[in-house]
Structure 1
Amino acid sequence: MTYPRATLRLQLHHGFTFDDALAQLDYFAALGVSHLYLSPVTTAQPGSMHGYDTVDYGTVSAELGGEGALRRLAAKVHERGMGIVADFVPNHMGVGGSHNAWWLDILEWGRHSAFARHFDVDWHSPDPALRGKVLMPFLGGPYGEELAAGRIELKFDPEAARFYAQYGPHVCPICPTDYAALLQSANRADLDTLASAFQGLTTQPEDQARAAAGRDALRAFIERVGTDPLDFVLEAYSSADPVPRDRLHRLLERQHFRLAWWRTATDEINWRRFFDVTSLAGVRVERHDVFEAVHKLIFRLYADGVIDGLRIDHIDGLADPREYCERLRQRLTSLRATPPYIVVEKILAPTEALRDDWAVQGTTGYDFMNDVGALLHDARGAAPLAEAWSAIAGDDRPFGAYALEARGEMLSYYLAAELDHVTRALHRIAREQPATRDTTYASVHRAVASLATHFPIYRIYPVAGMRTTHDKPWFDAALEGARKALPRASLTALELVNAWLGGRSPDAANAPPANHGGGGKSARNAHANAGSHANAPLSHALIAQRTALALFSQLTAPLAAKATEDTACYRYGRLISRNEVGADPDDFSRSVEQFHAANKLRRQRHPYGLLATATHDHKRGEDVRARLAVLSEIAVDWSSTLRAWSTLNQPQRRGDITSTTGWAPGPGAEAMLYQTLVGVWPPELDPGDEAGVRELAERVAQWQLKALREAKLRTNWLTPDEAYESDCQAFLFDILSPQRRDGFLQALADFVARVAPAGVVNTLLQTVLRLASPGVPDLYQGTELWDFSLVDPDNRRPVDYAARAQALDRAAPATKLANWRDAHVKLATVHRLLELRKQAPELLREGEYLPLTVRGALAEHVIAFARHHGNAWAVVIGTRHAAGLLDGDLPLVAPERWEDTNVELPKALAQASLHDWLSDAAHHTPGNALALRDVLKALPVAVLSTEPRA
């Protein structure tokens, strides 16, 4: 199987299984994709709607149909010459509950569990109550209250012959070292005899085998007499009465876990999580044995030809992404003759590039989504929109200031335990040498916190314990920010931390240079020496430095994500179409030249990376963002509209409406709500359709609740203000109630009708650019029709594939423009360009990329480029910033409006005959230019090629 030419992302769960995907395979093939791109297929927590909470890496999810169903799907996929790219989650597993055998084993046996080193657990916590234990922060209230209420119970599993503590769905196995005492507590001779098998047990591996034999005897006993004798044991530890409850408490205190209130996790968790999600525990995939155990099933499926490539989730969570990717590629290459296809989920800063030494085909496409999204925005709208937002929010700071503030809050209130882990790792380094022994924990903590707060990207990627030249500018930026923010008394500790975080070799002289920036020749030498000494034992100092660097990188990555995407993007509302995963709202727009430069670099470096405009993680659907981008073209009018709507809906506000901030939803939240309503209003929805408006309101209410809690201003996930949330929802339903049919509802519908045609122009341009740019276009499930979705779970709603299959035909997209509201023009555009990619796969995937010059009256409203491979050519032309050019309802600039605007063609296309794959029109080029009045008279986009349709 070759690399994909186009992928289709499917979200699998118990409501859409492998067999359900198989039932739609005819449609997927007819649409023209080459690969199905599946969400994780390993066994996840029961009922999981996403699959990222894996509990068993060794089995295919039974809820999805099991391995048999996956193989059936794969066989039919391959019969059609298609392939499968599987999403894979090496960074974390689902914990809590009762289904992760690895996790349950470490709860049972502690640091002597066979799986103790599979997870990033700190067994040496400075807190005596956690030393040698795993914090289990899953209680709904304080431990004492939950114990007294009888919600923590001792139970017995007859099938496994295992005692365990249960709290709701959470199971914590009791260590067999306590089984003798448990069995003897019943005062029965038969159980006393069984207890002898567990007498004197330790947690050592050899005693674990003894415990297994004891369990066998206990199981045989139960099979003979039943479980009634065990009820006496459970009664002796019942939480219903004070004496047995105290006995249960003392039993729990002896275990290798500590049950705790969920709120303790922020400050005390002693194992690495995925971001701040306590139900997902970090996996130490950097260990060779863990790597093999985690990938065993995936390697077998790849070796058997069931899957053809991998999408690696959250690559930045791993200790060493570069080393992981290299090892993964080597293992996959050893299993099949064809080179493996690997893409990674990676968020890149505007000027950051994916590292060349990762041995992957590219990213999952957030970088392209940002590039094309910024292209749709008019730079001239940035200032007036910022001014309007400043007036609304009473805050004229740029987004970067919001993000910086959110970083500080996240470190203090949500990632405090993770910050502590980094600090302690660095403080241990300080204590190793006399010259730095007096460096205090608190001074290191301040330095690390300031560095992390000012870190401009997700993380760095050191090699052999040293920062590389690629890391240097990013780390130096954080260092400079920290130097300015910290008091002079903290600068000495900051320079030490700089050195210990890869600024110098751990074997160099103890005192670091006064102003060392890191990177440089020493880092390059460390990189060069890493390979030649790969099998040499590492020094204690190097191990300590590498550990600290990994912990620091595993702090800055979740900090960036939580502070930027999940906090600041819900606080800053200049124009929320730029508040997207992988985007920087301060990077408001991109010029045509900048877009071309990014595409040329993409072709040069990662021609097989994915091109996405919608994902399972997006905050707003691709067509929501395309429509909202239009507001940047009418910034002054939109600002006036915002003020008018705010005045109109003032009577519906809740709370203290005389206050500037005390009312619900509040000025910022209200402004972002109006943007959301403009973005998601369906083109066909009539304001008088009560059921339709109600359905929309319910979807927006779900978004609103998440947005308010993510913003963490007046409510949050940890301590929700339910009264405020209820008032916000009431405001939303009031302004969308039938009583507003002739007021706000009509005004909203009228405004949407005004901007929607220009939004459609943006959608078609975005669609064409995704399908014609260098790389592999990725379609998110169902978005071949309108994608007016919001953040999950809204963007994971069921897809009506029957409607899409019925709408799919061979007619040209241009024939469907007049009825654009049904979105068939978008579907036809996707279909036609996938057909072109199939007919000439190299042309649009890795063909030469040539920006074309546009001249004439409306040149600034056009983007054009050519693709060239062998004898095949394609010319891509699209309309941009069309809000002021459209007349009426049709998303098309009238031909005469283009006047003398034309696109200059490469000399090789002089005298050429070109077929427009989107209109089926033929164009002859007697000169070296194409007139836009001819090329764009049927659609706002055109893809002309020397390749005629077969």
Structure 2
Amino acid sequence: MEQTDTLGARIPTATYRLQFNSSFGFQDAARIIPYLHALGISDVYASPCLKARSGSMHGYDIVDHNRLNPELGSRDDFDAYSKELQRHGMGQILDFVPNHMCVEGGENGRWLDLLENGPSSIHGDFFDVDWSPVKKELADKVLIPVLGDQYGSILENSELILSFEEGAFFISYYEHRFPIIPKTYNSILTHRLQELEGLLPADHEAYRELLSIVTAITHLPFYTERNPERVQERYREKEVIKRRLMVLYRDNWPIKEFIDENVRIFNGEKGNPRSFDLLDGLLRQQVYRLAHWRTATDEINYRRFFDINALGAIRMENLRVFEETHRLVLELVREGTVTGLRIDHADGLYDPTDYFRRLQRACFHETRMASISSTAEPCADSFAETILQMYDEMLEVSPQAKPFYIVGEKILMKNERLPEDWPVHGTTGYEFANAVTGLMVDTRNGKEFDAVYARFIQERPNFAEIAYQKKKQVMRFSMGGEINTLGHYLNTLSESNRHTRDFTLGSLNRALVEVIAHFPVYRTYTATRKVADRDRQYIEYAVAKAKRRNPAMSESIFTFIEDVLLLRFHDSTGREEQEQWIDFVMKFQQLTGPVMAKGLEDTAFYVYNRLVCLNEVGGTPERFGMTLEAFHGQNIERARSTPLAMLATSTHDTKRSEDVRARISVLSEDPAAWHDCLIRWNRMNRGRKVSVQGVKVPDRNEEYLLYQTIAGAWPTEVSTAEGHAVFTGRIREYLLKAMREAKVNTSWINPDSVYEEAALHFVDAILRDVPANGFLADLRRTLPPLIRCGMLNSLSQTLLKVASPGIPDFYQGTELWDFSLVDPDNRRPVEFKTRTEMLAALQSVEREKGTLALARELLETMADGRVKLFLAWKSLTFRREHRALFEVGKYLPLEVLGERSDNVCAFERYSDGETVIAVAPRFFTRLGNSPLGTETWGDTRIAVPFEGAGCAYRNVLTGERVMTALREGQTTLPLAAVLGDFPVGLLEAVEPE
């Protein structure tokens, strides 16, 4: 049943994330829609499906926002998939990428146009390029850091190839393709011209045409031309020249031979360095400067997505860019095939608040225009204006008006809230994933776990210090160019005032690095002359910490940076200079997020390995779990502020799947047992380490991470030899990525192949499936209790996700046990046929034997994952049937009394006479052999306020009825009855029989 909020936004009841790629396209998605509907899903939450770079496995490397990705299927395939969704009353939330596009590989037409036409390109302001960069040699040019070696070596190795195609010249570097500026064609066309004169008489028509083309090229406006009329002339004439040249080449054999031979000469002869002078000279005249990929660290002059050279940022703050990139998606919104949007990397935008407002306005316009009848078509334009006026009036009354379902990918740090002026329904749910994992961690054992970790790795790591150092490392080795650009900008601002002009460029750069390294959140959101209180606190904190850590640096430099970031203008600061300060602040804000992401989640999280289930995107690994009170508090706040935000437990970005984290959380319950395993395994495997330059590989911190990873991802069922080999390969790939991300003994930039091979040899050795491998035998004896408790943890977190305030999101495949690690491991194909058959079988058994018998049966075979599928199905279908209860229902934490009170999270959702209670146990190692019944729960009970004795509740998951009873003056539900046959409970208030 479709439901909309008061402004007309279609609200999902539960979403299912699908990862589209060439192996799973629109036809594949259409086939599983009936299964997803039967599971209880209301909306498919689709990865980007717009035209991406060929072979993309994720879709975030967009090359054209206004075409569907042909690798996923045709438009007819997409329409058929959309119709299948609509036939089942389901919606589609599309993942949209507004911050960047892929600029490598030669498939991005806009980028190629920019490389051919430079600053005068009609797309010159589309990409965030600094045409006046710090390096003067790059003025009006773009650095393209794509070469695998130094430019000269690549050139003389004949890896840069000049070609002539369809009247135009190009340079190719493997899969990369770069256009030659038409203005420089004459370097090729006039080379050896005297030899052509010997083949064709001066009055020959083809010869005269060639000279005419050369003359026309001479008169082309240069690529730095900014006069609109001259730019239009250049665009018009260069295409005429290409057509003339193509006709001449095609129709005249001597001209064809002449051009082909010149191309061959320009390409040089390997082994003859001087033969490449012509090509070198031609390349020096281009808009782009091809360079070794390492130069990006210091000299890149286009903004990127993080430090990925292939992803160039676009200027979404430019209205034309917004309109051009949203044409197709808004068309799909108008058609009703896209009913919601997930906005990727909102923090990368110049002004996220303004972007979301424009997006909501555009979506409101499209959905309302869709309601125009055919008879009203002649007045569509005036109707459109009326619609936009309606939205603007709505915005005046409610600045956060949200007429279309939009969620923003936003990582919230500890105690940080989503900006209140964003007109979105919430985030994509990273904070919930961390909260529910933290709830399963026994917070009482933090200090003991610290000691276990420190003893094993033989040092006491400090997470805050690691994060600080890694953020500085990223700024130095990965994003130095961005820091240098920002530092020069700040230096320009300092020069305008006599009190700050003596600050040196070097000192300003160093101070900037220190402030960013201490930033407590991903970014601030200043966009006007008023700085929000929350942002002021973050800036003051960062500057104060930077000052304290650097007593030798002039305090006045830090004060100046704080003044700029807080827009504390001096009396002498003119209007133009004030605008420059604001622009600096907004560019500063675009940089702090990537530094935080790369330094924290992509580096520090692979160094600080105390309990890695806590090392999740948006997590705080230094905080050992989350208390029950804090979890309830987060739910209460979400119910108040963003009740329709997504609730995630696994995503394409998570470092480990929900089931891996649920299992690793169990380790927190018994640090002594974990310590014994570590000591035993280290002793068993000591002889399998290889020495590299006198150091045993892997180091102890990597070994500690490896043991957690193996324990967390170990299959629930006995593997075949082939399955074990696949598992070993996945662990190898994970460890290699983890070591490179950590940047301690190797890295992506400077891989140490000898060290890496030694570490991978260790993985192979300890996982070799032979009788003599005592470690493998020990794993098989030790892990079953951990696996069992991890599965029970996972059931609890699944229930919590479905019942908590927000929209539950299921990442593809996670309705069964899924023990994926970080990408690309979590993008492996999903066996939907198996899942479809399993769900149909569950439904059949329930009809035949009843819910209780099915639930009991599934507990006997938990390893096959059907029990998790059953829980998802029963809870999601109940939620769909009672959607108002979960969407607008109040949230009430329930007190648990008795001897096992700390082992249960319970809360009530109630609305308009409907009530449901969620009961999710935790810390299962304390519950003995079974999580069920009186022997386990004794007198533990849930206090049910506002109810009397004799009230009835039906457990949705078993069909059983439980009655409230009066005990010690309180109305309670006995857990022995609630959890008598199934380890979690979802209790619906019903009338007594």
User: What's the CA shift for 1:909?
Assistant: 6.4
What corresponds to 1:895 in structure 2? Answer: 934
| 1:665 equivalenced with 2:695 (yes/no) | no
Structure 1 CA distance for aligned equivalents of residues 554 and 480 of structure 2: 20
Deviations 1:898-923 (A, max 9, x none): 11110011324653321111111112
User: What's the CA shift for 1:155?
Assistant: 1.2
Change (3 A) 1:824 1:157: same
Is 1:44–1:54's contact at 8 Å kept on the other side of the alignment?
A: yes
Structure 1 CA distance for aligned equivalents of residues 949 and 492 of structure 2: 70
- TM-score calculated relative to the size of structure 2: 0.90
User: What's the CA shift for 1:947?
Assistant: 6.1
What corresponds to 1:922 in structure 2? Answer: 961
Alignment of structure 1 residues 572-611 onto 2, 5 Å: 572-611=608-647
Is 1:310–1:341's contact at 8 Å kept on the other side of the alignment?
A: yes
Change (3 A) 1:902 1:44: same
Change (3 A) 1:802 1:148: same
| 1:212 equivalenced with 2:245 (yes/no) | no
Is 1:59–1:67's contact at 8 Å kept on the other side of the alignment?
A: no
Residue 252 of structure 1, aligned match among 265, 276, 283: 283
Alignment of structure 1 residues 401-412 onto 2, 5 Å: 401-412=465-476
User: What's the CA shift for 1:225?
Assistant: 3.7
Name which of structure 1's ranges 740-749 and 125-134 shifts more when overlaid on structure 2: 740-749
User: What's the CA shift for 1:835?
Assistant: 0.6
Residue 857 of structure 1, aligned match among 877, 882, 899: 899
Change (3 A) 1:909 1:144: farther
Change (3 A) 1:560 1:90: same
| 1:674 equivalenced with 2:707 (yes/no) | yes
Structure 2 CA distance for aligned equivalents of residues 386 and 340 of structure 1: 46
Q: Which amino acid aligns with 2:213?
A: L
User: What's the CA shift for 1:411?
Assistant: 1.2
What corresponds to 1:280 in structure 2? Answer: 311
Name which of structure 1's ranges 379-388 and 227-236 shifts more when overlaid on structure 2: 227-236
| 1:499 equivalenced with 2:499 (yes/no) | no
What corresponds to 1:45 in structure 2? Answer: 53
Alignment of structure 1 residues 461-610 onto 2, 5 Å: 461-505=525-569, 508-510=570-572, 539-610=575-646
Residue 459 of structure 1, aligned match among 510, 523, 536: 523
Deviations 1:777-826 (A, max 9, x none): 00000000001010111101000001101111233444411110011000
What corresponds to 1:235 in structure 2? Answer: 264
Change (3 A) 1:814 1:323: farther
Residue 330 of structure 1, aligned match among 342, 357, 361: 361
Structure 1 CA distance for aligned equivalents of residues 621 and 72 of structure 2: 38
User: What's the CA shift for 1:741?
Assistant: 5.7
Q: Which amino acid aligns with 1:59?
A: R
Is 1:276–1:415's contact at 8 Å kept on the other side of the alignment?
A: yes
Deviations 1:367-424 (A, max 9, x none): 1001111001001221111112112223313322211111111111111111112111
Name which of structure 1's ranges 902-911 and 925-934 shifts more when overlaid on structure 2: 902-911
The residue matched to 2:528 in structure 1 has which SS?
coil
Change (3 A) 1:918 1:683: same
Change (3 A) 1:652 1:942: same
User: What value does the CA root-mean-square deviation take over the aligned residues?
Assistant: 1.8
Q: Which amino acid aligns with 1:835?
A: T
The residue matched to 2:93 in structure 1 has which SS?
strand
Which stretches in structure 2 are left out of the alignment for 5+ residues? 3-9, 197-206, 226-230, 369-401
Residue 320 of structure 1, aligned match among 351, 358, 361: 351
Alignment of structure 1 residues 330-479 onto 2, 5 Å: 330-337=361-368, 339-479=403-543
User: What's the CA shift for 1:563?
Assistant: 0.8
Is 2:932–2:981's contact at 8 Å kept on the other side of the alignment?
A: no
Structure 1 CA distance for aligned equivalents of residues 770 and 857 of structure 2: 39
Structure 2 CA distance for aligned equivalents of residues 926 and 574 of structure 1: 44
The residue matched to 1:336 in structure 2 has which SS?
helix
The residue matched to 1:876 in structure 2 has which SS?
strand
Is 1:183–1:192's contact at 8 Å kept on the other side of the alignment?
A: no
Q: Which amino acid aligns with 1:920?
A: G
Structure 2 CA distance for aligned equivalents of residues 650 and 236 of structure 1: 60
Structure 1 CA distance for aligned equivalents of residues 334 and 947 of structure 2: 45
Matched residue count: 911
Change (3 A) 1:356 1:910: farther
Structure 1 CA distance for aligned equivalents of residues 566 and 465 of structure 2: 28
User: What's the CA shift for 1:32?
Assistant: 1.0
User: What's the CA shift for 1:740?
Assistant: 5.3
What corresponds to 1:146 in structure 2? Answer: 154
Is 2:47–2:95's contact at 8 Å kept on the other side of the alignment?
A: yes
Alignment of structure 1 residues 795-834 onto 2, 5 Å: 795-808=826-839, 809-810=842-843, 811=846, 812=851, 813-834=855-876
Structure 1 CA distance for aligned equivalents of residues 328 and 426 of structure 2: 24
Deviations 1:575-628 (A, max 9, x none): 111111111101221111111110011111111100000001111111000000
Structure 1 CA distance for aligned equivalents of residues 801 and 250 of structure 2: 63
Percent identity (aligned): 36
| 1:885 equivalenced with 2:916 (yes/no) | no
| 1:847 equivalenced with 2:866 (yes/no) | no
Q: Which amino acid aligns with 2:236?
A: A
Structure 2 CA distance for aligned equivalents of residues 595 and 209 of structure 1: 63
Is 1:319–1:550's contact at 8 Å kept on the other side of the alignment?
A: yes
Structure 2 CA distance for aligned equivalents of residues 930 and 729 of structure 1: 53
User: What's the CA shift for 1:655?
Assistant: 0.8
Deviations 1:859-912 (A, max 9, x none): 11111100001111101111111112121xx5x244322111100113246533
Change (3 A) 1:948 1:64: farther
Change (3 A) 1:288 1:656: closer
Structure 1 CA distance for aligned equivalents of residues 61 and 697 of structure 2: 35
Change (3 A) 1:43 1:947: farther
Structure 2 CA distance for aligned equivalents of residues 816 and 398 of structure 1: 44
Change (3 A) 1:947 1:211: farther
Q: Which amino acid aligns with 1:598?
A: Q
- TM-score calculated relative to the size of structure 1: 0.94
| 1:643 equivalenced with 2:679 (yes/no) | yes
Q: Which amino acid aligns with 2:112?
A: L
Q: Which amino acid aligns with 1:14?
A: S
What corresponds to 2:800 in structure 1? Answer: 769
Change (3 A) 1:454 1:740: farther
Structure 2 CA distance for aligned equivalents of residues 549 and 324 of structure 1: 17
The residue matched to 1:356 in structure 2 has which SS?
coil
User: What's the CA shift for 1:465?
Assistant: 4.4
Is 2:948–2:965's contact at 8 Å kept on the other side of the alignment?
A: no
Name which of structure 1's ranges 72-81 and 388-397 shifts more when overlaid on structure 2: 388-397
Structure 2 CA distance for aligned equivalents of residues 142 and 615 of structure 1: 38
Deviations 1:679-715 (A, max 9, x none): 01111125xx433221110111110110010010110
Structure 1 CA distance for aligned equivalents of residues 112 and 627 of structure 2: 54
What corresponds to 2:670 in structure 1? Answer: 634
Deviations 1:635-664 (A, max 9, x none): 11101210110011001011159x6xx111
Structure 1 CA distance for aligned equivalents of residues 553 and 725 of structure 2: 59
What corresponds to 2:377 in structure 1? Answer: none
Q: Which amino acid aligns with 1:295?
A: H
Is 2:663–2:712's contact at 8 Å kept on the other side of the alignment?
A: yes
Is 2:539–2:566's contact at 8 Å kept on the other side of the alignment?
A: no
Structure 1 CA distance for aligned equivalents of residues 542 and 252 of structure 2: 67
What corresponds to 2:29 in structure 1? Answer: 21
Structure 1 CA distance for aligned equivalents of residues 669 and 497 of structure 2: 61
What corresponds to 2:765 in structure 1? Answer: 734
Structure 1 CA distance for aligned equivalents of residues 534 and 981 of structure 2: 48
User: What's the CA shift for 1:738?
Assistant: 2.1
